[in-house]
Chains A and B, each alone.
Chain A
Amino acid sequence: MGIAVEGARKRFGDFQALDNVSIDVPDGSLTALLGPSGSGKSTLLRAIAGLETLDAGQVVINGQDATATPAQKREVGFVFQHYAAFKHMTVFGNVAFGLKIRKWDKAKISDRVHELLRLVQLDGLAERYPDQLSGGQRQRMALARALAVEPQVLLLDEPFGALDAKVRKDLRTWLRRLHDEMHVTTIFVTHDQEEAMDVAEQLVVMNEGRVEQSGTADDLYDHPANEFVMSFVGEVNRLGEHFVRPHDMEVVLDPDERTEEAMVQRIVALGFEIRVEFVLGDGTEVWAQLTRSELQKLELREGQIVHLRPGQTKSFNGDGSSPDRQGASTPSGGQGGDDAEVSAAV
């Protein structure tokens, strides 16, 4: 059950948007497709909805092969980044659209629409037109419209991408709660790793048309399969072949066999978090994330020579696919990362 994609391929001219992608999304879960622009995440989502036809591969929704099913028969709810509101219809008309198509009777439509508008907290705005709503309200209207027809799955394509930071944060908490109430299998696409970790139970990291790794936020952060995942999911410093998170950089005043000499270049106070930038003997620039009290204890100042002790480092050999254990006790697991066939079980 849930959604499964097997060996999906899609090419737009010279651009390979999907290159043998397989994912498995369990029934009732909330999954994020995370990746930079051009990674194929939106194409994959649109292929699941039937808005894009695959060159090869299979889409299975709740056990049914939907590969050849047109979008109108897939029973998916789809939410677009730019809302795709029907501008000539009221909020009521927008939400009622799918129900009118299904020829529900008027009283039932009215009940259902008002129930949904309450759910998305737009009751009272039913008679407005989309251009009389704010971005956040439009997106909630779009969500109500998608949910009205009781879809088997809910797909959201960068749903908060066009909204400002504050509204985005509110809406994602709200989406999380909505999912807890409705339990409809949900996939949402984002390029924002913080958003993905905040909202989703499972993450699928995509890059250049392939799945790099999938798992929970902790899996990806603590056991990244390769350099790409490590640097995409969180901040990273590179020390030769090794990678270390800025918060795993320990700053000490006395050297030992595991430290490296560094000069403090700049200290940036970002509220509670302090960003300290260093330059190493070989010219490499790195930074460490300290707390305000740690900084005060060390009494660092710019130009000072200190010693850095990388806590947990990781290195990925040549092709960047096989993780290796370095430094302290980090079990860096081999999640995903099978290059022969990029596949991922969420």
Chain B
Amino acid sequence: MTPTKPAKWGLRSLALGYLGLLLLAPVGMIFYKTFEHGLGPPIEAMTSPDAVHAIYLTLLMVAIAVPLNTLFGIGCALLLVRHQWKGNAVLDGIINLPFAISPIVVGLSLFLLYGNDGWFGPTLSEWGVQVLFSTPGMVLASVFVSLPFVVREVVPVLQEIGTEQEQAASTLGANGWQTFWRVTLPAIRWGVAYGVVLTTARVLGEFGAVTIVSGSISGKTETLPLFVAKAFEQFNEEAAYAGAIVLALLALTTLLLMSIGGRKTKAQASGPIPITGDVPISTSNAKEGS
């Protein structure tokens, strides 16, 4: 059934109105508030040592957690799709755990595990490794909360491409590693790219779990979201808004990088050559149907 013209316009306005009210208005307000008094105050707020350190720490989390989860995610997706075994259902369930558990609970559980009374805490501090209230704990929390994205994006793509291309590669003499690099990875690159973007966005914005394990020490264990929250609590609205803008810009940059990369490969894949009729084949000189 096709909706009538007024109904179509009604639906469109409803969708746009909904998005506008719930997404665009709050984000727009932040932009407005930040630049209310020009570029000076936000730049000043973002160049303070604590702010710079918070940006650095956030990027560090991304730099560690995203590659780790990408590698793990691709491997795990291959295991789930290409090797059918009984543990698959269990593995699949465990991977979804970070979606199901509130980040604050993740933070608490890490606290229990690595705290001074926890299972690993005492042993690790004997070795001189401080997990809580320092970078390792924050990395653990970031990896935990952003773990399922690459797996969830890559699994359906792997299922869709099937195994024939990989089998063809093996009959042509490619070993498992060559098949992966030359055939499988290029075929799933879109799923991977999308998973990476989602993982990055999640790590950039992570608050709950990191709050608990980091202790939120300014200039030491404070990521950008924590910086924003603290600034807001201390009525330092300028710094809060400016931090929020930086976060949003970082996420936008990730999206932009992906779509630029995407446009390039797409242009490559479809090329400028128009699809024309077939060349005749000699036995019949017949044109193949198209």
Are A170's CB and B283's CB within 8 A? yes
Give Cα A135–Cα B278 distance, bound, in whole angstroms.
10
Q: How large is the interface on A (under 10, 10 to 19, 20 to 34, 35 or more residues)?
A: 35 or more
- By a CB distance below 8 angstroms, the chain B residues around A98 are 172-174
* Minimum CB–CB distance for B24 against chain A, Å: 37
Residue B12 CB within 8 A of the other chain:
no
Q: Which of A76-84, A215-223, A287-295 contacts B (4 or more CB under 8 A)?
A: A76-84
Are B289's CB and A134's CB within 8 A? yes
- The 3 A-B residue pairs whose C-beta atoms are closest, nearest first, are A98-B172, A84-B164, A84-B168
Additional pairs, 13, CB under 8 Å, beyond known A174-B282, A174-B283: A50-B170, A71-B170, A80-B167, A82-B164, A101-B178, A127-B273, A129-B269, A129-B271, A132-B275, A136-B288, A140-B281, A142-B168, A164-B289
Are A86's CB and B183's CB within 8 A? yes
Residue B182 CB within 8 A of the other chain:
yes
Contact A177:B186 (CB < 8 A) given known A51-B170, A80-B168, A129-B270: no
* Minimum CB–CB distance for B255 against chain A, Å: 23
Chain A residue nearest to B279 in the complex (CB): A121
* Minimum CB–CB distance for B115 against chain A, Å: 48
* Contact pattern, A 41-53, Cβ under 8 Å of B = 1, otherwise 0: 0000000011100
Residue A87 CB within 8 A of the other chain:
yes
Give Cα A88–Cα B46 distance, bound, in whole angstroms.
43
Give Cα A86–Cα B283 distance, bound, in whole angstroms.
27
- By a CB distance below 8 angstroms, the chain A residues around B175 are 72
- By a CB distance below 8 angstroms, the chain A residues around B102 are none
- By a CB distance below 8 angstroms, the chain B residues around A128 are 271, 273
* Minimum CB–CB distance for B200 against chain A, Å: 24
- In the complex, which of the residues A124, A145, A166 contacts B286, with contact meaning CB atoms closer than 8 Å? A166
Are B288's CB and A97's CB within 8 A? no
Give Cα A145–Cα B178 distance, bound, in whole angstroms.
17
27 contacts between A and B (CB under 8 A): A50-B171, A51-B170, A71-B167, A77-B171, A78-B171, A80-B167, A80-B168, A86-B165, A86-B168, A86-B169, A86-B182, A86-B183, A87-B187, A88-B189, A88-B269, A89-B186, A137-B278, A140-B281, A149-B172, A166-B288, A166-B289, A167-B288, A170-B283, A173-B283, A174-B281, A174-B283, A177-B283
Give Cα A129–Cα B283 distance, bound, in whole angstroms.
25
Residue A146 CB within 8 A of the other chain:
yes
Are B281's CB and A170's CB within 8 A? yes
Interface size on B, residues (CB 8 A): 32
Give Cα A5–Cα B171 distance, bound, in whole angstroms.
19
Give Cα A127–Cα B272 distance, bound, in whole angstroms.
10
Measured CB to CB, the residues of B under 8 A from A are 164-165, 167-175, 178, 182-183, 186-187, 189, 269-271, 273, 275, 278-279, 281-284, 286, 288-290
Chain A residue nearest to B165 in the complex (CB): A84
Contact A167:B289 (CB < 8 A) given known A82-B164, A84-B164, A136-B278: yes
- In the complex, which of the residues B169, B173, B183, B288 contacts A134, with contact meaning CB atoms closer than 8 Å? B288
* Minimum CB–CB distance for B249 against chain A, Å: 32
Residue A108 CB within 8 A of the other chain:
no
Give Cα A98–Cα B168 distance, bound, in whole angstroms.
10
Chain A residue nearest to B271 in the complex (CB): A129
Are B171's CB and A101's CB within 8 A? no
- By a CB distance below 8 angstroms, the chain B residues around A136 are 278, 281, 288
Give Cα A146–Cα B171 distance, bound, in whole angstroms.
8
* Minimum CB–CB distance for B275 against chain A, Å: 5
Chain A residue nearest to B278 in the complex (CB): A134
* Minimum CB–CB distance for B187 against chain A, Å: 6
Give Cα A166–Cα B271 distance, bound, in whole angstroms.
29
Are A101's CB and B174's CB within 8 A? yes
- By a CB distance below 8 angstroms, the chain A residues around B290 are 134
* Minimum CB–CB distance for A142 against chain B, Å: 8
Are A173's CB and B187's CB within 8 A? no
* Contact pattern, A 140-178, Cβ under 8 Å of B = 1, otherwise 0: 101001100100000000000000101101110110010
Residue A303 CB within 8 A of the other chain:
no
Give Cα A125–Cα B288 distance, bound, in whole angstroms.
15
Give Cα A159–Cα B216 distance, bound, in whole angstroms.
64
Residue A297 CB within 8 A of the other chain:
no
- By a CB distance below 8 angstroms, the chain B residues around A97 are 169, 172, 174, 182
Chain A residue nearest to B290 in the complex (CB): A134
- By a CB distance below 8 angstroms, the chain A residues around B183 are 86
Chain A residue nearest to B174 in the complex (CB): A101
- By a CB distance below 8 angstroms, the chain A residues around B286 are 166, 170
Chain A residue nearest to B189 in the complex (CB): A88
Residue A74 CB within 8 A of the other chain:
yes
- By a CB distance below 8 angstroms, the chain B residues around A171 are 281
Give Cα A98–Cα B187 distance, bound, in whole angstroms.
18
- By a CB distance below 8 angstroms, the chain B residues around A331 are none
* Minimum CB–CB distance for A5 against chain B, Å: 17
Residue A70 CB within 8 A of the other chain:
yes
- By a CB distance below 8 angstroms, the chain B residues around A77 are 171
Chain B residue nearest to A130 in the complex (CB): B269
* Minimum CB–CB distance for B83 against chain A, Å: 15
* Contact pattern, A 111-142, Cβ under 8 Å of B = 1, otherwise 0: 00000000001101101110110111100101
Chain A residue nearest to B176 in the complex (CB): A72
- By a CB distance below 8 angstroms, the chain B residues around A82 are 164
Are A121's CB and B281's CB within 8 A? yes
* Minimum CB–CB distance for B87 against chain A, Å: 19
- In the complex, which of the residues B174, B182, B186 contacts A72, with contact meaning CB atoms closer than 8 Å? B174
* Minimum CB–CB distance for B227 against chain A, Å: 42
* Minimum CB–CB distance for B175 against chain A, Å: 6
Give Cα A137–Cα B190 distance, bound, in whole angstroms.
27
Residue A258 CB within 8 A of the other chain:
no
